[in-house]
Every structure is written in C-alpha cells, then in structure tokens.
Structure 1
Amino acid sequence: MGASKYIKQTFQNEWKGSKDDNYDYSELMRKRGIEFRKEDRAVVKLEKPTNLAGARSVGYKAKQGIFVARARVRKGTGTHHRPKNKRRPKRQGQAKLSRRISTQAMAEEKVSKYFENAEALGSYKIAEDGKWHYFEVVMADRNASTIVADKNLKYLAHGHQGRAERGKTFAGGSNKITNLKNKRKIRAKKALDRRFG
C-alpha cells in the first residue's frame, strides 16, 4: 500500500471512532477538535494540509501558489426569522428548515472572501465537534507565475474569478443541481394549479 492509502485508512478509523490494540483513533479526533476550537478566527491559513490524501484528491500540489486554509461553519439550520405577514402557525416556517447551500460550500465561500486573490479548487471535511464543522479548502493564487505557467491551472488567471460563489466547485455544483430540481418541482406544480385551478 502507498502512503495515501494508509492516510485514508487512518482518517476513516478516526471518523468511525474505532479502537486498536495499539491506538484509540477517536481520541485523536477529539484532541484535534479541541485544538481547532481554541482558535479565535474562522479562517486559518495552514502550512500543509492535515489530510494529505484528501487534499491531493481535490487538486493540492506542493508548489508555490497553492495553499490550504481551514474554515469553520456553525452547525444547525441557521437563523430563520419569523415572517412579518400573517399566516397560520403551520406555515410560519421557522423550525425544521434546511439551508439552501451545504456547510461545505459555505466554508469555500468564507475562505474565498478572506483570500481575495485566490480561487477555491475544492475542499474536504476534517473534523467536527458539538458546535462547528471544520473544512480544509485548497486555494490557488491566480496571479502566481507558477499557476499561470501550469497548463492545468492557467485557466484560473483568465476570467475564472469567484468559483466558490458561482458554484463551480464540487460542493457548490451539487447545491446548484438540488436547487434546480426544487425549482422545477415548484414550476410544475404551479403549471398544474393554473391548468386545473
């Protein structure tokens, strides 16, 4: 097995919380969560990725112009204000509402806004605790000479700004598909209502 397979296996054991004769993987995840919670910033630039196999799968390379940042996103369904107009309690729509985009896409947008000169290539989940989800986002500096010279990444330097905000990453794209499906359902329902009144 190569190194990346061992890394993947270790992280899978951490998420499962499995215990070995030699090691308790759940303790490793718990300690990492405690370290992350101590940080006072929502976005932190890292020297190297925590999960190297996960970072490489979304486009990370150990070269100038590519870096990794960790972002935290609050758990839960977010704040939903009570509607001002009248309606019956069933239709107030405060509880049991899901967010329009995933927490992973939120993390990518957060990091993208923090580093304005860079674009998000992809992200992966690294940890979670009772309050936060933690993601690592792989970023590429679109003005770096190494990125402009790279045949696979030079498109970032020419009119590909705001990838995370426009849903061009994997996490953002899946949200676009879900929202489009919902939109089609609503449109079809309205058409039936108009037809059969």
Structure 2
Amino acid sequence: MGLHEYAVKSFAESSRNRSDAYRKRVSAWRKGKTIQRVEKPLNPLRARELGYKAKKGFFVIRVRTKRGKRVRNSADLGRKPGKNRKRENPGKPWKWFAERKALRSHKNAELIGSYLAGEDGVYKFFEVLMRTKQ
C-alpha cells in the first residue's frame, strides 16, 4: 500500500472513531459562524483530489448545515400524526445546500468541490473549496 492510500485510510478511520480531539473540534465549530473561512483544509489529500492548490487565489470555507430531513412549519389542523407530513426530504443532499451557501456568500469566487469535514447530532460540516474568478 502506497503512502497516499495509507493516509486516505487513516483519515477515514479517524473520522469513524470520534476521538476526543474530533469532538472538541466539532463543538468549537458548532459555536462558531455558519459560514467561516479557514486557513487550510482539514483533509489535504481529499482537497488535492478535488483540485485545491495551496497558492494564491484558492481558499477554503467551512459551512454548517442541518442534518436529517427538512422540517416545514404547518398547522396540523386536527389531523392524525401519521398524516401530518411535516418532515420532507428536500430532494437534494445537504452537500449541495452547503455549496450554494458558500457561493451566495462569496460571489467573486467559483466552486471547485466540497467534502464532509465532520458531523454531530444536529449539524453536518462541509469544507467547500473555492478559487477567485479570473
């Protein structure tokens, strides 16, 4: 197994194990802003696979999105709980919503790609890779 494969495997295992450092990192992210610019990517191997380069013009945005299905507020009007239809699947993955949030906040940039950086019981955190338009 080459170095690249070993590093990718170790990143996958570390995200599955949920170490104390991971929990502290995610709790700090939860207290932060929804859209936050980051110095460098958390998973540099995945970022390079998607086309990120550590040079001027490229940057990383961490975006917080919800988990689970979308909840629509609507009156149940005396219906049975099974007939309520309050929770709906939006039809698109939360990664797509994270990319749109990042593009909306940085209009002068174009999207390169994104990947899951972490998750807790309520939120999913994605790192969105972007570069300035030329």
Unpaired runs of at least 5, structure 2: none
- 1:104-143 alignment, distance < 5 Å: 104-143=95-134
The amino acid of 1:32's aligned partner reads: R
The amino acid of 1:60's aligned partner reads: Y
Inter-partner Cα distance in structure 1 for 2:133 and 2:48: 18
Inter-partner Cα distance in structure 2 for 1:5 and 1:62: 21
Inter-partner Cα distance in structure 2 for 1:44 and 1:92: 36
Q: Deviations over 1:107-145 (max 9, x none)?
A: 1011111111001111000101112100000101112xx
Greater relative CO, 1 or 2 (CA 8 Å, sep 6+): 2
Q: Does 1:102 align with 2:101?
A: no
Inter-partner Cα distance in structure 1 for 2:43 and 2:52: 11
Q: Would the alpha carbon gap of residues 10 and 32 (structure 1) be closer, same or farther in structure 2, given more than 3 Å must change?
A: farther
Q: Does 1:65 align with 2:57?
A: yes
Partner of 1:38: 31
What is the alpha-carbon root mean square deviation over aligned residues?
2.3
Inter-partner Cα distance in structure 2 for 1:72 and 1:7: 25
Unpaired runs of at least 5, structure 1: 18-24, 144-197
Partner of 2:8: 8
Inter-partner Cα distance in structure 1 for 2:25 and 2:5: 21
Report sequence identity in percent. 32
Inter-partner Cα distance in structure 2 for 1:37 and 1:142: 30
Offset of residue 9 of structure 1: 2.2
- Comparing 30-39 with 109-118, greater Cα deviation is found at 30-39
Q: Does 1:51 align with 2:43?
A: yes
Inter-partner Cα distance in structure 2 for 1:140 and 1:66: 4
| Structure with greater proportional helix content | 1
**Residue 61 of structure 1: SS of its match in structure 2?**
coil
Task: Give the number of equivalent residue pairs.
Answer: 132
- Rg (Cα) greater in structure: 1
**TM-score, normalization by structure 1:** 0.60
Offset of residue 83 of structure 1: 6.7
